[in-house]
Amino acid sequence: MECHPIPQRKDWYICSRKPIICPHCGEKKVRKAVLGYPTEEDFMNENIYLVGCLPDFPVERNWGCRNCDAAFFKDNKFNRGRLDMVAHRDKDGRLRLGYPDEITPESITPNEIPF
């Protein structure tokens, strides 16, 4: 399993799969993240991590540590693109967040800053 801290936050990690032991606090409390107002059943469920109603920005975590609130993101192009705040233009010229499926000269030289 690969799990690396990301530069944006010291308690955020990008991982090939869900870590069993939290690299931030050492507890075995990493769970699947559930966003939004929880049902009573979810609230009592120790097998999930409740994100709450404020989503992570710029992309929601896949897993969270119930002990220290460290965030874990699955290592894929979507999450990496969002975390790196990359934007590109698709073949129709529309601005998209994340890394493009294919790297072309147009897609990696955006001519405006979207934020």
Binding site for Zn ion (CB under 5 A): 22, 24-25, 65, 67-68, 70
In whole angstroms, the minimum distance from the beta carbon of 37 to Zn ion comes to 24
Nearer to Zn ion, 22 or 59 (CB): 22
Q: How many CB atoms lie within 10 A of CB 79?
A: 20
Nearer to Zn ion, 45 or 67 (CB): 67
Q: How many CB atoms lie within 10 A of CB 69?
A: 14
In whole angstroms, the minimum distance from the beta carbon of 86 to Zn ion comes to 28
In whole angstroms, the minimum distance from the beta carbon of 50 to Zn ion comes to 15
Is residue 43 a contact partner of residue 36, using CB atoms and an 8 Å limit? no
Question: Which residue, among 26, 45, 19, has the nearest Cα to 34 in the 3D structure?
Answer: 45
DSSP 62: S
Nearer to Zn ion, 68 or 97 (CB): 68
